[in-house]
Each structure stands twice: as C-alpha cells, then as structure tokens.
Amino acid sequence: MPLLQVRGLTHYFGGLKAVANFNLDLEPGELVGIIGPNGAGKTTVFNLITGVYRPTEGQILLDGHNLVGLQPHAITNKGIARTFQTIRLFKDLSVLDNVRIACYSQVRYSPLAAFLHTQRFREEERQTREEALRLLDIFNLRRYAQAQAKNLPYGEQRRLEIARALATRPRLLLLDEPAAGMNPGEIQRLMELIQWLRREFQLTIILIEHQMRVVMGICERIQVLDFGETIAEGKPKEIQNHPRVLEAYLGKGVA
Amino acid sequence: MRFIIQQTLNALQLGSVYALIALGYTMVYGILRMINFAHGDIFMVSTYLGFFVASFLLGWALHLPMAVIFVLTLLLAMFGTSLLAVFIERVAYKPLRQAPRISAVITALGVGLFLENFTLATIGPEPRILPQVVPVINFNIGGVAVSSIQILILAISALVMFILDTIVRRTMTGMAMRAISFDKTVVPLMGIPVDRIISITFALGSSMAAVGGVLYGIAYMMDPYMGIRIGWWAFISAVVGGIGNIRGAMIGGYILGFVEIFVAAFLPSTYRDFVAFALLLLLLVFKPTGILGMPVVEQKV
Amino acid sequence: MNRRWWLPLILALLFLLSILLPHFGILNLYLQQVLMYVGINIILTISLNLVNGYMGEFSVGHAGFMAIGAYISSLLTVWVFPKSWGPFVFPLVLILGGLGAALAGLIVAFPSFKTRGDYLAIVTLAFNMIIKSVLENIEAIGGPRGFMGMSKLTNVAWVYVWVLITIFAIRNFVFSAYGRGILSIREDEVAAELVSVNTRQTKILAFVISSFFAGIAGGLFAHVLQFINPRSFTILKSTDVLVMVYLGGIGSIMGSILGASIYTILLELLRPLGVWRWVVGPLLLVILMVTRPRGIMGLREARWLLPAEEVQADAAVTS
C-alpha cells in the first residue's frame, strides 16, 4: 500500500489556480523530486499536504487515512515533516531549543507536572534533551547548542532545519529547495546527507529543487509542474529529454 | 418621529467629530501599520489649542468679525496640531520603525499619557468650553430644534472630509500614500520620499483631528482626559469602517455617533460603552475587515 | 551537588522578614502598603509577560482579568463566608477569584486562534471595556460606586508568598515543552505548527495561566485597599501593566520583577511632584522605548531564575 496518495489536488488563490489536479502515489522508501519553473505551484503542494492551506478540491491520504482538514500539527504528528524554501528557524531561540520544540508532541507530562517539577517531568525533559542532542550530533551542530539560531552560518541553518524536522519523528520528509544558496561542494555533501538520512531514518522523501544536479542525481522519480499542472513525470532520464519540460524551462520554440 | 429626527441630528453632529478623528487613526495605520494610540490625546490638545487661540483673538482689542476669528482659530489649531503630531512622529515613532511593532504602540500609549497628564498639570482638570466664536441661533423646523452650531459642525466636517478625500485620491501625494500603504519596501525604489510622505500623513490626520477638536469645543465641554474616551470611540469607528480605509473611517464615525446617541436615548448612559464594544466584537467576529477595509490580520504564511 | 543551596535559604529568610518586620512595627504601614503594591504589580507584570513577552501576542486588557479576580474574591469574603473565617479562607477565595479570571482568559483565547497583533489587541481592549461596563451596570455589587466591606486580609507575607508562587509557576512552565511551544509561537507560528506544536492548546494554556494570576493579583489588591470600583480596572490600569512589562523587558521574569519594582517605587518617590509625577512616568517610558526598545532585560533571564537542571545540563553540553 502506498504511504501517501494524493488525488486530484486542486487549489485556488482567489481566482488564480495555483495547483491543478495534482496526483502522486508514494511508496514507502521512495525519493521523488518535484521540479518546475518559479511559481509553478511546488511549494503550494507542500503547503497543502502539511495542512497550511486547505485544498479547494482533492484528497490527501497517508496510510489510507484522510489528512484534509486536519490542523498542521496533527498532520505532523501523523509523520510528515518539512523544511522551508526560505529558512524558518526560531531565530531568537537557541539551537537546542529549536530542536526541542519539535519534540513537543512526544511529551506526555501535564502542565501541572511542569509547574510542580515532578519526577516524571524531569525524566521526560532529560529524554527530550538527550534526543535533541543526539540529533545535533548527527548534524554536527552540538557545539552550537547554546547559540541563537540566527547566529549560525547559512549552511548550518539549513542543516538545523532538517534536524528540527527529524525531531518530529517523521516517516515522510518534505524538503523545499534544500540546496538553495549552496556552493557545489556543499551541494555534494547535501546529496550524500539526504541519501544517508533516508537509509538511517527509513524515510520517504519528496524533494523540491531547482538544482538539476541534485534532482537528477538522487531522485528515483520526478514530477514536473508548470502553472500548477503536471506536465511530465517519470525517471530522471526520461524527464531530461521530455519536450514539454524543455519548453517550460526554456520557452517555446527551443524544443 | 420628531424625537427620532432630533436624535439623528445629534448623532450626525457627534458622528462628524468621531469621523474626523477616525481619519487620523486610519491614515497612520494605512501607511505605517501602527495604531497611533496617542491620536485621541492629540485631538484633546487641538481642542485646547483652539481654546487658547480663540480666547487670545477675542481678548485682542482688534474687534475682528466672528467669522474671521473662527476661521483663524480653526486654521491655527490645525497648524499647531500638525506640528505637534509631526514632531511626535519624528522624535518618538521614527526611531522605532525597524523595532518590533509593539514597541511603537507602547510608545504611542506613553505619548498619549504624557499629553494627558501634561495638560492636566499645566492647565488643570476643570472642564472648559471654547469662547463663543459662532453666534448661536436656534431654528425651529417643524418642532425640531436646530442650532447654527449644529449646521456649522455638519457643514465644515463634510467640507474638510471632501477635501481630504480629494487629496488622497487625486494628488501625487495621495497616490504616494496609497503606494506606501500597499507595499513599503518597493516604494523608495520608485523615488517616493517615504519620510516626507509619512510626515504629511501625520500632518493631515492630525489637522482633521484639530477640525474635530475645535468643532467639539464649540459644542461640548473639554477636559484633559477627554481624549481617552473620544479617542477610543473614534478608534472603534476606524475599525468598524475598516481600518486603513479613509471612507470607511468616515462611515464608521457616523455609525458610532448613532450608536452613542441612540443607546443613550433608550438605555441608561452607562450602557453606552458596553453596547459600543459589544458591537465592535461582533463585527470583528463576523466581518474582521470592517465595512470597507483590509483585514487587520497579519498573513504569516 | 546543588550549587544553589543558598537560594531557598534566602527566600525563606525573606519570608520570615515579611512576617517579622511588620509585626514588630519596623516597617510602618505606608512602607508595607508600598511593598504590597510592588508585589501585586510583580504578579500582574509576570503574568502579562507570559502572553505579551513570551508568546509575542498583544493583550491590552489585563486589568479586565484583575477586575474579575478582585470582585469574585471580595464578594466571597463579604457575602459568602463569615467575617471571622476571613484569614483562613483567604487563599481559597483568591484561588476562586483566579479561576474566575482564568475562565475569562479561556474565552479571550479563542479569537487568538485566527488572529494576532492589532486585531487581538482590539479584542482584548474591548474585553477590558466590557468588563468595566458590566461591573458598572450591576447595581447589586455597587455599580459605578464600587464595592466595599472587605477586611484587610492581604499582608506583606501573603503577597510575598503569592509572588513566589507566580515566579516559580511561570518559570517552571516557561522551561517546559509547553513553554517552549509558547516561545515558538512568538518566533514563527506557522513553523511552530509544522514542527508539531499544538498552537491552539498552547495559546489557551498561556491565556488561562496569565489571567489566573491576574485574578490572584486582583484579589490581593481588593483586600489591601478594602474598596474596589470599576474605575480601578480601566484601560489605564492595563496600560500601567504594559508599561511595567516593556520597561523590564519582554520574555524575562527578572525583567518583570525589575520593571514592576522600579515603576511602582519610582511613582511613589515622585509623589511630592503632585500631578507632575504622571507626566514624568510616561515621559520616561517613551525615552526608554526609543533608546532601548527591548526593555531592561530584553529576552535575557537572571541566572538564579533558570531551573537547576537546565543550568547543569547546559554546562555539561558545552564542556
């Protein structure tokens, strides 16, 4: 059974059709890329899947359960995490707190236990901290644990965002242009990191990316959007030579 | 019926004042996205300015005709109030333009308190009324009492609001204001002097308040704390009309005038605030944008 | 082990002093009164800071919650319980007043789901005005004339105890998953939801806790003054609390303690100036906001207020 099924997803902003009849079936463990020119509706798809927007039409099923209408945190708790095109860390908070906040729903103690500092509260807080530090270790960020997130170098901020997403214990990870603003060396390391994470955390991943190198290099399947419509889908090789894709990227007449 | 007409006149009179003050709230909000909580007190200061100008002109043995004194009072009050508002903007708000928006709002609250208490400390708490600069003639039209003051208030308010509306809609300055309110980041790139436009906005908004202040001073008593209550009502007017929208503020002002007068006519006057604020809450729940305005909601997605 | 053994000691010592000094007349009645106001203002300031500072919302109607606590507790001590029971039921009465205020906080929390910033400011403002207006229109509790007949049940020791409860309750809350959720709402509400923070639940908690302590402060206030009327709880009172929050600095308990103490004591010291003291206060506020928009502490916390576990664990991380 597919992990994620998206059926006929359509979304309007006012009268403007941002996403039209988007379909996607995702098997567990797949790594799928979504590409398309600016304004093609890629990020809107992420916003619809994660519940930031409510779709005008269409179904989104995770393990066969409907996600449409749930609040974003409820969807996150079902196992979908994401990063953002422009980094959206909690800037004034510490790196450690950025990750700990993402452990919010794993906490079982009541507010009263928090007031009274009960044994249970302390135990769970200790676990949360350990979990967060373990993630920071993985991303080589532990030495920044006490620093304010806004003071991290750009590449570290990108990694922290992924660490924060993983702290919600996702099965499906949505990465929104993770390579934006990176140099070729960093991009190489990012590609290795994504593949490693996928194995290590048994993740299914959807990747929005402009850097063709990344998409062609690691994605198994690619779906191409233009003006909200899916204009092509298939293996990287097929996409590379697809006439409609070339047309969308380079303009009419080139293909 | 006569009663209704009489009360309607009273409501229009009060509503004119609310509308004039509401314009200042709405214009500043439109351009800076900031609730200028000091505006009600700027209105109060303008009434006192009118009081002193009128007293001075009358005491001056020039025997100017009343109409001249009235017009001079109005103009000088507008001028003085604009200077004050622009000064406040430069000294207290401008340094905070990059700070969290709440800092500016708190500062505005502080400026308002300062103006109130400064007036209290220097002029005193006793209520005053503007010296008579308009001859009071009472007409009786079919049993409805209409005074020359009432007519003057309605006419002058309508006139200045028309002028303001024209300025905002037809002049380059007005266009620049609307541009800034639409998108503050790109406007400087188009060669629009943002600081100057902001100053002009404050000046225009506070001159409207000053017109309201002088007219108020003719009809009602003034005291240092009047800016709080009237300011809040004018502020609600701006929200009801749709904050950021100039015509909305005018409509909102008249609506609040009607609410106040008719609540007081049928219920104990202590219910006045309750009804006004309950109305405000209901409106915000069902039509958060106000009657004509943009949403007061920050889209953060 | 615990490197802060001195903290409970000092707090206990202060408690003893808060009983003994008034008892032996070392603190005269005026000073006691000032101290109690300082304490009550600290409670108000910390509780408002939870919503405005930590959560980054803009509530401007804190006096409305205070009014509810003040009236409920006063009605209970005057009408419900025999006068002689006063000192014994006082804590219960305060808590009931706080719960009443918390209920109102729950209602105000709902509009905050969809909106923030100016819109919520208007809603809370309207709430404050409506509470005052309702109180003015209930003749049974004195209407605009106010309500009296309370015994002077509040004393320095009680205020001190409640200040401590407030400090530690809110401190512990802020340094928990719920508190971090509140911080994340201030930083980026959408991102918070997307990393699993239930922002509605968190907002409700923040508003309820904040208004509960405002209600407690109201109850304490009513039983110092022994007389309350609706005009004690207007938007001016709310503004006072706002001033103390931003003077001390948002997102800092130590800031609120400092802000409330400095503002209250300053206004007392300026008393000889007569009406002019009301001019100096706002002027100082404006100067402070312009020169230091984040207040005295501004998002920083005093070390003694950090939970011991956090301090120790942080030390372990960096070493």
Nearest one of B194, B261, B227 to B25, comparing CA atoms? B227
Mean model confidence pLDDT for chain A? 91
The shortest CB-CB distance from C123 to any of B121, B232, B284 is to B284
- Subunit contact C290:B228, Cβ cutoff 8 A: no
- What is the H or E stretch that residue B281 is in? helix B271-286
Q: Judged by CB atoms within 8 Å, which residues 277-306 of C form the interface with A?
A: 299
Q: Is C279 in contact with B118 (Cβ distance < 8 A)?
A: yes
Q: Note whether residue B135 is domain-resident.
A: no
Q: Which domain holds residue B263?
A: 2-124+148-286
- C95, with CB counted inside 10 A (0-12, 13-18, 19+), is middle
Taking CB atoms within 8 Å and a gap of at least 24, the contacts of B60-69 are B66/B133, B66/B134, B66/B135, B69/B133
> Backbone phi, then psi, for B62, in 5-degree steps?
-100, -15
- The set of chains that have 3 or more CB pairs under 8 A with A is B, C
Q: Going by C-beta distance under 8 Å and a sequence separation of 6 or more, which residues neighbour residue B240?
A: B248, B252, B255, B256, B279, B280, B283, B290, B291
B139 within some domain? no
- DSSP category for residue A207: E
Is the Cα dihedral B179, B185, B190, B195 positive or negative?
positive
Asked, for residue B188, whether it belongs to a domain, the answer is yes
C29-231: CATH homologous superfamily?
A: ABC transporter involved in vitamin B12 uptake, BtuC (1.10.3470.10)
Q: Exposed, middle or buried, A147 (CB in 10 Å: 0-12/13-18/19+)?
A: middle
Which H helix or E strand runs over C64? helix C62-75
* Residue C220 pLDDT: 96
Angle at CA C213, nearest 5°, toward C94 and C47?
165
- Comparing C-alpha atoms, which of C211, C174, C164, C173 is closest to residue C68? C211
Q: How does DSSP assign C20-56, residue by residue?
A: HHHHTTSS-HHHHHHHHHHHHHHHHHHHHHIIIIIS-
Strands A172-176 and A204-208: parallel
CA distance C7 to A206: 52
| Chain B closest-CA separation from residue C49 CA (Å) | 13
The CATH number of whichever domain residue B171 belongs to comes to 1.10.3470
Selecting from C143, C144, C242 the residue whose C-beta is nearest the C-beta of B109 gives C242
Least confident interval from A26-30, B76-80, B178-182: B178-182
Are B114 and C290 an interchain contact pair (Cβ–Cβ within 8 Å)?
Answer: no
Tens of pLDDT, residue by residue over A129-184, are: 999 999 999 999 999 999 999 999 998 999 999 999 999 999 999 999 999 888 88
Tally A–B CB contacts below 8 A: 3
Rounded to the nearest angstrom, the minimum Cα separation between B300 and chain A is 11
**pLDDT score of A73 more than 90:** yes
Q: Mean pLDDT across the stretch B223-241?
A: 90
Of A84, A88, A114, the CB nearest to C176: A114
Residue C309 with chain A: CB contacts under 8 Å: 122, 125-126
- Of A165 and B189, which is predicted with more confidence? A165
Interface test with C, best of A78, A90, A106, A122 (most C CBs within 10 A): A90
CA–CA separation, B63 and B55 (whole Å) = 13
Return the pLDDT at C318.
Answer: 59
Mutate to test the interface with C, among A101, A116, A133, A166 (most CBs of C within 10 A): A101
Q: What is the ipTM of this complex?
A: 0.91
pLDDT of residue C80: 86
Nearest CA to CA, how far is C170 from chain A (Å)? 7
Buried b (16+ CB within 10 A) or exposed e, B281-301: bebbeeebbbbbbbebeeeee
Distance from CA of B278 to the nearest CA of C (A): 7
Structure tokens at A39: 């304004």
Provide the chain C residues 187-226 that lie in CB contact (below 8 A) with chain A.
187-188, 190-200, 205, 209
Quick check: B299 pLDDT over 70? no
Residue B140, judged by CB atoms within 10 A of its CB (0-12, 13-18, 19+), counts as exposed
Question: How many Å apart are CA C163 and CA B155, to the nearest integer?
Answer: 57
Angstroms from C109 CA to nearest CA on chain B:
13
Interface test with A, best of C194, C198, C318 (most A CBs within 10 A): C194
Report the C-alpha gap between A17 and A50 in whole angstroms: 19
Which of C119, C242, C283 comes nearest B296 by C-beta?
C119
Q: Which distant-in-sequence residues (6+ apart) come within 8 Å of A205 by Cβ?
A: A30, A31, A32, A172, A173, A174, A175, A194, A197, A198
> Chains that contact B by 3+ CB pairs under 8 Å?
A, C
Is B213 part of a structural domain of the chain? yes
Tokens read off for B105: 């709002």
> A1-79+170-255: which CATH architecture?
3-Layer(aba) Sandwich (3.40)
Interchain contact, A117 vs C172, CB within 8 Å: yes
**What would the two tokens of residue B157 be?**
């308010």
Q: Does A52 touch chain B (CB under 8 A)?
A: yes
CB A75 within 8 A of CB A51: yes
Q: With an 8 Å Cβ cutoff, are A167 and C200 in contact?
A: no
The dihedrals phi and psi of C169, each to the nearest 5 degrees, come to -60, -50
| Confidence tier at A250 by pLDDT (50, 70, 90) | low
Residue C275: per-residue pLDDT: 83
| Mean pLDDT of all residues belonging to chain B | 88
Q: Find the residue in C nearest to A110 (Cα).
A: C178
CB contact (8 A) between residue A104 and residue C180: yes
Radius of gyration of chain B (CA): 19
Q: Say yes or no to pLDDT of A253 above 80.
A: no
- Of C125, C87, C118, C54, the C-alpha closest to C223 is C87
The closest CB to that of A88, out of C168, C191, C209, belongs to C191
Residues of chain A with CATH 3.40.50.300: 1-79+170-255
β-bridge pairing B138-141 and B144-147: antiparallel
- Is residue C116 within 8 A of residue B298, CB to CB? The reply is yes
Mutation target for C interface from A52, A54, A104, A133: give the one with most C CBs within 10 A.
A104
Residue of C nearest to A86 (CA): C191
Q: Is residue B262 part of a domain?
A: yes
Contact A101 C179 (CB under 8 A): no
Give the pLDDT score at B30. 87
Chain C, nearest residue to B100 by Cα = C293
Shortest Cα distance, chain A CAs vs residue C191, angstroms:
7
For the range C304-313, what are the long-range contacts, defined as Cβ-Cβ under 8 Å and sequence gap of 24 or more?
A: C304/C4, C304/C7, C305/C167, C305/C171, C305/C253, C305/C254, C306/C175, C307/A117, C307/C171, C307/C172, C307/C175, C308/C2, C308/C3, C308/C4, C309/A122, C309/A125, C309/A126, C310/C175, C313/A126, C313/A129
Q: What is the DSSP letter of C76?
A: I
Determine the length of chain A.
255
Q: Tell me: the pLDDT tens digits for C231-243?
A: 999 888 898 898 8
Q: What is the pLDDT along chain C (319 residues), one digit of tens a residue?
A: 456 788 888 888 998 888 888 888 788 889 999 999 999 999 999 999 999 999 988 898 999 999 999 999 999 999 988 888 878 889 999 999 999 999 999 998 888 887 667 778 888 988 998 999 999 989 889 888 999 988 888 889 999 999 999 999 999 999 999 999 999 999 999 999 999 999 999 999 999 999 999 999 999 999 999 999 999 998 888 988 988 998 898 899 999 999 999 999 998 998 888 888 888 878 888 888 888 878 888 778 888 888 877 777 777 665 5
Q: Which of C196, C197, C202 to mutate to test the interface with A (most CBs of A within 10 A)?
A: C196
Domains held by chain B: number: 1
Q: How far is CA C96 from the centre of its chain?
A: 16
A35-52 tens-digit pLDDT: 988 888 899 999 999 999
State the Cα–Cα distance between residues C51 and B37, nearest whole angstrom: 20
Closest residue to C195, CB basis, from A51, A111, A164? A164
Is B130 within the bounds of a domain? no
* Stretch B173-198: mean pLDDT: 81
B100 lies within 8 A of chain A by CB: no
Question: Is position B301 within any domain?
Answer: no
| pLDDT, tens digit (0-9, with 9 covering 90-100), for B75-126 | 999 999 999 999 999 999 999 888 877 788 888 988 999 999 999 999 999 9
- Tell me the domain boundaries of chain C: 29-231
